[in-house]
């Protein structure tokens, strides 16, 4: 920890800057010698003192605001309130400037008739908007000289926007869709604090005359209902205009409710800014410090929303009303505005009569800078309570996004980063700037490059010829949602609490940082095209926080991807599930994967033109059911002479719970819902599946061809995988949903520029969640702590290297349920055996399986086809005991099953 330094200041405006990157524990001790004459002592004030007024003056510092000018100068402001101020007649706001990034400050102006105001910059001018006085007219001023002089709002053409009683604070101004948006409150609802405030939204075109009343649009006013929050509701105020992940403007407000401190209110704003609405059933959100004023801003670098809040520390809970506890200032963030995480405590003082409140802040490169209304000791008796601030202070939170966000579930110790987590230069080449990540859906290892004779995949074969083919790569779940959530977060399904196709991982583990988010935080432009996350049946559609721009072709049911003559090449949302196969003579773009390939090639051209490093994820929907590739891909195969599946029946002695009845295929109209599937239909299904594989392969080829044509392949690492395997007739099954080899084994090919021994295959055991640390490291970026995967870079350097002794896959029974499950199957795959334990299920959020129901053990060396379960054979008692112990170790104490390093470095849609 950095040592905290308190420096005596020569004057209020010549202090020493201090970073708030550590927790500041401020002493509440008074002077040891009370008889000495009082002298100003600002050493207890954190940060840089911009202004100070002793409490004896009867004037207090309020409403701090901060803006960074294009010149790099900082402008700050505060108003004055208190019994000897003019807040109720003609309020005063003071303006300050720093030309050295906040190290020192100087006063540059005084504005008479300005209160509760926000500084913002627009169209080469500085603005100050707020009220004329305490509950006064709504006004705005402009400065064309950096805050020294200001216009006077005398009428509707010069900044007098509305007459009446208005309330606000330094609330953020946001620009969206060519308009400026700002939250405000009418104060005429009653004479009682809190309930008198009726929020509304005001907006204007960015190029309009902002001093003209005619330029502004005002929404309706929204009063409170005192019956909300079990009758504890007192008021809402000081709202934040924010652009939500769906692109809609929302207003997030401070909530005053008796005895309630961690709640905010989210109001929705119509696109034209004329209507604001609130649903009490869903509009109250958990927000730390929600009883006090806060500022929310969106960070395009991390893709997160950030705020500084007066969080109530556990040791302070219940000591007074939450709105009066302002002795702790904390940094918090969210990916979706709904779930907020405390990242760190910035300032804390055990004395509740000290306050660090009303922070206004801005991004400044890698730092966050803030001005704070501070009430603390000053050697002159100090502030006489937390509310009546005697300081305006400036703070710089250096590298506020660092250290890398830890993905560990709460309470889990940090993962030690071993040799495989160090950054090492890539052999023989420069570190790539870009990532092209391609993922298919339900694709087994029946590919030419994996030795599947007769399966035509020339484009994946040529990718393998320039990369590393992982022969023993395994998913964490043979089901779309948990597998993709695990891969993209670097955490296992049981760590995320995601077992089936719902819920979304953001609902169970909202604070995790996804793979593309990690790249965004290091300056990459993150693009998502197609099915990267799960695509149907969830409250959240995809993950907007993962991308620098809206994702496309990512949402809808698979059976909506159907060629319907005369209806165009689109997803047909009104289309009912029909046949499992379609053999239409249509171009590739008739189906969504062809259109995604076209979008991907177009986006590559755009990214090449602007020269911005990128992380591009392209998710192909095939070969998932329905199997409806264009006819030309069917014509590649002879239905009467197809490559056979790996096996035609289940393993001997396999428990029934390990199998399924091909329910996914049976949900289509041309497959019987019970009984044997006719041999002819099975041949047709397999034919259609292989055609879909070749169709996906062709789309992969289109994207790779464009990457090569543009000349950026040598600066791009390419990774290809599926979300899991698939039984296309193997073991007599159609579908995934098993812990067998065909269900869990997935293709994985990584091609990095300059890698050692390209075209080599490796037998190293690995998992899909290893992709996260691998892609981060291969691009020369720091690997976040807390990931459950291990970097595969040692294997990219040497195909004989290994990084882990086993892979773990999990699946539930039944599969398509969100909460209670009957059983959880956890399967370990080593180079020696596959061991699967079926355990009693629990609530879907459970992290640890229950008592054992059944077991499977397969001897990989003697039975490479996994034809016989030997768990019940005495000759395998020792191997079974070892496997049991190893799997039990994965869940000891509920901890995540992180494989240690080894020597050598309903119905699916």
User: What are the residue numbers of the active site?
Assistant: 480, 534
For 230, the 3-state DSSP assignment is: helix
- Alpha carbon separation from 405 to 19, 133, 302, 521 (Å, rounded): 20, 43, 10, 10
Angle between helices 771-778 and 480-489 (to 10 degrees): 30
CA atoms within 13 A on the CB side of 175: 9
- State the DSSP code for 541: -
Over the range 806-835, which residues count as b (16 or more CB within 10 Å of their CB) and which as e? bbbbbbbbebbbbeebebbbbbbbbeebbb
CA atoms within 13 A on the CB side of 419: 11
Q: How many angstroms separate the CA atoms of 762 and 803, rounded?
A: 12
Q: How many angstroms separate the CA atoms of 624 and 349, rounded?
A: 57
Structural contact between residues 471 and 860, judged by C-beta atoms closer than 8 angstroms:
no
Structural contact between residues 676 and 572, judged by C-beta atoms closer than 8 angstroms:
no
For 775, the 3-state DSSP assignment is: helix
Angle between helices 679-709 and 592-610 (to 10 degrees): 10
SS (H, E, C) 155-198: CCCCCEEEEEEEECCCCCCEEECCEEEEEEEECCCCCCCCCCCE
- Give the Cβ contact number of residue 886 at 10 Å: 18
Put the strands of the sheet holding 340-348 in their side by side order: 24-25, 340-348, 328-334, 304-309, 295-299
Name the helix (H) or strand (E) containing 247: none
Nearest alpha-carbon partner for 533 in 480, 597, 477, 595: 480
Structural contact between residues 804 and 765, judged by C-beta atoms closer than 8 angstroms:
yes
Measured in residues, the chain has a length of 909
- Give the Cβ contact number of residue 711 at 10 Å: 9
- Give the Cβ contact number of residue 121 at 10 Å: 16
- Give the Cβ contact number of residue 732 at 10 Å: 16
- State the DSSP code for 142: E
For residue 602, give every residue at least 6 positions away whose Cβ sits within 8 Å of its Cβ, in sequence order, or none.
none
């Amino acid at each position: 920890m950095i040592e905290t330094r308190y420096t005596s200041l020569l004057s209020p405006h010549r202090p020493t800057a201090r970073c708030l990157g550590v927790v500041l524990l401020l002493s509440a001790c008074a002077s040891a010698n009370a008889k000495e004459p009082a002298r100003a002592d600002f050493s207890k004030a954190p940060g840089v003192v911009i202004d100070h007024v002793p409490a004896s003056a009867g004037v207090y510092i309020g409403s701090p605001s901060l803006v960074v000018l294009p010149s790099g100068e900082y402008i700050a402001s505060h108003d004055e309130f208190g019994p000897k101020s003019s807040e109720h007649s003609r309020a005063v706001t003071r303006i300050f400037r720093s030309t050295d990034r906040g190290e020192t400050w100087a006063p540059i102006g005084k504005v008479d008739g300005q209160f509760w105001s926000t500084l913002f910059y627009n169209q080469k001018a500085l603005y100050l908007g707020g009220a004329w006085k305490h509950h006064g007219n709504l006004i705005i001023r402009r400065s064309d000289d950096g805050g020294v002089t200001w216009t006077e709002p005398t009428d509707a053409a010069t900044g007098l926007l509305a007459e009446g009683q208005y309330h606000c604070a330094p609330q953020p101004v946001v620009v969206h869709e060519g308009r400026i948006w700002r939250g405000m409150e009418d104060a005429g609802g009653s004479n009682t604090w809190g309930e008198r405030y009726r929020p509304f939204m005001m907006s204007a075109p960015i190029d309009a005359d902002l001093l003209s009343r005619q330029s502004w649009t005002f929404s309706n006013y929204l009063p409170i209902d005192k019956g909300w929050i079990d009758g504890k509701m007192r008021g809402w105020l000081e709202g934040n205009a924010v652009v939500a992940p769906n692109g809609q403007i929302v207003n997030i407000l401070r909530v005053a409710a008796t005895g309630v401190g961690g709640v905010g209110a989210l109001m929705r704003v119509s696109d034209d800014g004329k209507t604001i609405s609130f649903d009490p059933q869903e509009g109250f959100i958990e927000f730390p410090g929600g009883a006090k004023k806060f500022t929310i801003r969106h960070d395009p670098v991390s893709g997160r929303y950030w705020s500084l809040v007066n969080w109530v520390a556990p040791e302070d809970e219940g000591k007074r009303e939450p709105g009066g506890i302002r002795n702790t200032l904390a940094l918090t963030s969210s990916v979706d505005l709904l779930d907020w995480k405390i990242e760190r405590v910035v300032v804390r003082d055990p004395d509740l009569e000290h306050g660090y409140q009303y922070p206004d802040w801005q991004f400044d490169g890698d730092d966050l800078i803030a001005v704070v209304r501070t009430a603390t000791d000053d050697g002159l008796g100090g502030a006489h309570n937390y509310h009546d601030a005697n300081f305006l202070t400036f703070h710089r939170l250096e590298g506020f996004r660092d250290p890398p966000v830890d993905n560990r579930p709460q309470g889990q110790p940090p993962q030690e980063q071993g040799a495989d987590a160090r950054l090492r230069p890539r052999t023989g080449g420069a570190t790539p700037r870009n990532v092209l990540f391609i993922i298919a859906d339900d694709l087994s290892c029946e590919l030419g490059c994996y030795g599947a004779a007769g399966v035509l995949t020339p484009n994946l074969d040529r990718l393998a010829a320039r990369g590393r083919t992982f022969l023993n790569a395994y998913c964490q779940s043979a089901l779309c949602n948990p597998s993709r959530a695990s891969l993209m977060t670097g955490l296992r399904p049981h760590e995320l609490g995601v077992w089936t196709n719902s819920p979304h991982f953001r609902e169970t583990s909202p604070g995790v940082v996804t793979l593309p988010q990690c790249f965004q935080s290091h300056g990459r432009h993150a693009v998502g095209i197609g099915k990267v996350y799960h695509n149907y049946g969830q409250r959240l559609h995809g993950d907007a926080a993962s991308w620098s721009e809206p994702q496309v072709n990512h949402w809808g049911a698979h059976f909506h991807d159907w060629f319907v003559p005369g209806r165009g090449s689109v997803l047909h949302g009104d289309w009912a599930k029909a046949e499992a196969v379609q053999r239409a003579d249509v171009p590739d773009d008739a189906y969504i994967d062809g259109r995604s390939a076209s979008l991907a090639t177009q986006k590559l051209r755009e990214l090449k033109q602007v020269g911005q490093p990128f992380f591009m994820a392209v998710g192909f929907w095939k070969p998932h059911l329905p199997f409806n590739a264009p006819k030309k891909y069917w014509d590649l195969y002879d239905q009467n002479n197809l490559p056979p599946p790996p096996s035609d029946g289940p393993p001997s002695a396999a428990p029934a719970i390990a199998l399924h009845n091909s329910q996914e295929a049976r949900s289509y109209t041309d497959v019987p819902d019970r009984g044997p599937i006719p041999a002819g239909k099975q041949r047709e299904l397999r034919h259609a599946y292989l055609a879909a594989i070749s169709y996906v392969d062709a789309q992969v080829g289109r994207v790779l061809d464009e990457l090569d044509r543009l000349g950026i392949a040598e600066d791009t690492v390419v990774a290809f995988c599926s979300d899991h395997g698939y039984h296309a007739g193997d073991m007599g099954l159609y579908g995934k949903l098993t812990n067998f080899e065909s269900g869990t084994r997935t293709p994985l090919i990584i091609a990095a520029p300059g890698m050692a021994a390209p075209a080599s295959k490796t037998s190293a055991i690995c998992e899909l969640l290893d992709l996260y640390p691998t892609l981060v490291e291969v691009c020369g970026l720091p690997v976040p702590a807390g990931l459950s995967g291990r970097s595969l870079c040692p294997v990219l350097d040497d195909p004989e290297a290994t990084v882990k002794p086993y892979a773990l896959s999990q699946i539930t029974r039944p599969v398509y349920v969100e909460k209670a499950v009957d059983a959880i199957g956890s399967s370990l795959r080593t180079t020696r055996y596959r061991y699967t334990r079926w355990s009693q299920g629990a609530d879907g959020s459970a992290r640890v399986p229950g008592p054992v129901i059944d077991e499977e053990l397969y001897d990989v060396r003697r039975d490479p086809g996994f034809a016989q379960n030997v768990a019940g054979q005495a000759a395998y008692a020792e191997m079974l005991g070892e496997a049991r112990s190893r799997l039990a170790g994965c869940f000891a104490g509920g901890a995540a099953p992180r494989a240690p390093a080894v020597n050598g470095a309903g119905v699916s849609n």
